[in-house]
Amino acid sequence: MKDKFFKFFEIGKLDKGLFRIWIILSAAWLIFFSIVFLNSWEFGEYKEAIKQNNYKVNCESFYKKVPVWKKNETTGISEVKGFLTTNTIVYGNKKKQESILGAFSLSYFESYALCVHHYKKIKSEALLNLIPGIIFYILTPFLVALIYLFSKKGFLWIRQGFK
């Protein structure tokens, strides 16, 4: 099998030397781009999704709070004067809900299953964003070698007159 491969691609001593250089450059490529990949936006999003995957914190039950509005007589603008706790049980991050901005957001869910599904979906989407980068970084050195071998074979085939 090895002899057929060498004979088909007409691999000589020069190509064997280039193969050694290719191995060194491939190792340098994988080391360099693994560092770049660990600092990439996609990897950061995946790390953030794993941090958010704590269901005990992000999917705890609490009573929904609604802001109470009161019109300011001097400015004529409605302002939040406090929060009213309702009897509706919702699921989400209780600390975020207790903040002023959290009360206005829709960061709560009607059931525990919806809450867990939401955070699992975030994690799976982040993982799906990682996969193309991982495939690109790993396969690029092999594609370079295959392109070299086939372009050399095509060039020699054309030069020798389609023999």
Long-range contacts of 13-22 (CB under 8 A, 24+ apart): 15/152, 18/148, 19/145, 22/141, 22/144, 22/145
Higher pLDDT, 69 or 60: 60
Q: Higher confidence at residue 157 or residue 27?
A: 27
Q: Is residue 80 part of a domain?
A: no
Q: What is the pLDDT of residue 22?
A: 83
As a whole number, mean pLDDT of residues 115-119 equals 85
Does residue 157 register a pLDDT over 70? yes
Q: Which residue has the higher pLDDT, 81 or 27?
A: 27
- pLDDT top residue among 55 and 27: 27
Asked whether residue 37 is assigned to any structural domain, the reply reads yes
Q: What whole-number percentage of the chain has pLDDT above 70?
A: 76
Residue 27 Ramachandran class (φ > 0 left, ψ -120 to 50 alpha, else beta): alpha
Task: Give how many domains the chain has, as a whole number.
Answer: 1
Confidence (pLDDT) at 41 = 87
Question: How far is the C-alpha of 92 from the C-alpha of 59, rounded, in Å?
Answer: 4
Query: Residue length, the chain?
Result: 163
Domain assignment present for 135 = yes
- Per-residue pLDDT band at 99 (split at 50, 70, 90): low
pLDDT at 21: 83
For residue 18, give its domain range.
2-41+130-151
Distances (CA, A) of 77 to 69, 73, 80, 157: 10, 8, 10, 81
User: 26 lies in a domain?
Assistant: yes
In a domain, 107, yes or no: no
Per the CB < 8 A criterion, the answer to whether 63 and 89 are in contact is yes
Q: How far apart are CA 63 and CA 83, in angstroms?
A: 12
pLDDT of residue 102: 47
The answer to whether residue 10 sits within a structural domain is yes
pLDDT of res. 80: 65
Distant-in-sequence, close-in-space partners of 141: CB < 8 Å, separation ≥ 6? 22, 25, 26, 29, 30
The yes-or-no verdict on residue 83 having pLDDT over 70 is no
Q: Is the pLDDT of residue 101 over 80?
A: no
**What confidence score (pLDDT) does residue 52 get?**
78
Residue 7 domain-assigned (yes or no): yes
23 falls within a domain: yes
Average pLDDT, the chain: 78
Are 116 and 98 a contacting pair, CB within 8 Å?
no
